[in-house]
Structure 1
Amino acid sequence: MPQDRTRPARVCLGAIAGAFGVRGEVRLKSFCSEPEAIAAYGPLWSEDGTRCFEIRLERPIKGGFAARLSGVQTREEAEALRGMRLYADRDALPPTGEEEYYHADLIGLEVRDTGGQLLGRVAAVLDHGAGDLLEVRGPGLGAGVLVPFTRDVVPTVDLEAGRIVVDPPAGLFPDSSGSGEGGSGA
């Protein structure tokens, strides 16, 4: 079944963590590789596309920035935006370099091992500070498997074909080769 691999029209660049102060500023968390760049990509949109904001960063704070959003004047208005993710039009973003990818482009890709066996699909891309992890979900994977997004473990990313090839460390994925080996007996 062919998959529509059109790139998303908008890419998530950040989220509002709540109000900051009493004059309508928000706590803004940036997902950009250069966090302050979030304000440089033109207006940012709510996920549903019904709200649009111009962003002005006021100052860095723990975990992000104190920022002003156009149309937000009071603490109550700022607090009502808590949890809102902010998206930029893809056309406003710089092109990726070789072997660089926007997380949004990886989500949904098929994940196959080096032998061609389907392991699942990328459900999320996580960054906990030590490098990106691909969350792979599929039949028999329970809550999912976290795959280090390194060249050694993920030698091939083919956006056009909609797939990633992984060479996982032993034991990362349940053995589905059908060899029947590996039991230890009692």
Structure 2
Amino acid sequence: MAETRVCVGVIGGSFGVRGEVRLKSFCAEPDSIADYGPLFTEDGKRSFAVTLTRAVKGGFAARLTGIATKEQADGLKGVRLFADRAALPALPDDEFYHADLIGIEVLDTGGKVLGRVRAVHDHGAGDLLEIHGPGLSATVLLPFTAACVPTVDLAAGRLIADPPEGLFP
């Protein structure tokens, strides 16, 4: 998958018997998922224009181009959908797309390399950066807060971390 794409939703399977899908949006404004099209599968081999038909519990019922039957919709269950990064709105200086943080180098306030961001997790209480690097036998989860990560420099491909005592060896 091209690194210029961001995951914006996932297909939950069919909705009804006429080819609609149940779509869960990961967008800040959930219904804006249809504005970022076409949306691509993770491997980039398929793309879909999305038309939201109505809100349903946990997301939306939607029509995807090329999907006309319940069986086709069922076959897409679990497929994550990606939008071109350029189609997404610009963010304020203190906000970041998770995809922009993956792979970025993590340094401590003294300039020592702690590792690289492997993933960003959101379990509801705030984002956690999963960091893996030299000298780490397992990944470390660093809270993505202003106190623990005072500087993010996407242009330089790094962030400065001030982790709690004992988090890193």
TM-score with structure 2 setting the length: 0.91
Matched, 1:98 2:93: yes
Equivalent runs, 1:29-68 vs 2, <5 Å: 29-68=24-63
Aligned residue type for 2:17: V
Return the offset for 1:140.
Answer: 3.9
Secondary structure of 2:147 counterpart: coil
Matched, 1:139 2:134: yes
User: What's the C-alpha RMSD, in Å, of the aligned pairs?
Assistant: 1.7
Equivalent runs, 1:54-133 vs 2, <5 Å: 54-133=49-128
The partner residue of 1:153 within 134, 148, 152 is 148
CA distance in 1, matches of 2:159, 2:117: 9
**Any conservation in 2 of the 1:8–1:105 contact (CA below 8 Å)?**
no
CA distance in 1, matches of 2:25, 2:137: 31
Aligned residue type for 2:65: S
TM-score with structure 1 setting the length: 0.83
The partner residue of 2:4 within 3, 9, 12 is 9
Return the offset for 1:159.
Answer: 0.8
Question: Deviation string for 1:29-88 (max 9, x for gaps)?
Answer: 211111111111121111222211111122233332222111111111111112211111
The number of residues matched between the two structures is 168
Secondary structure of 2:159 counterpart: strand
CA distance in 2, matches of 1:70, 1:113: 47
Q: Mean alpha-carbon deviation: is it higher for 107-116 or for 88-97?
A: 88-97
**Any conservation in 2 of the 1:147–1:168 contact (CA below 8 Å)?**
yes
CA distance in 2, matches of 1:59, 1:89: 24
Aligned to 2:19: 24
Q: Mean alpha-carbon deviation: is it higher for 63-72 or for 120-129?
A: 63-72
Question: Deviation string for 1:132-183 (max 9, x for gaps)?
Answer: 1111112343441111111111001011111111111112222xxxxxxxxx
- Which one has the largest radius of gyration? 1
Secondary structure of 1:38 counterpart: helix
Identity of aligned pairs, percent? 66
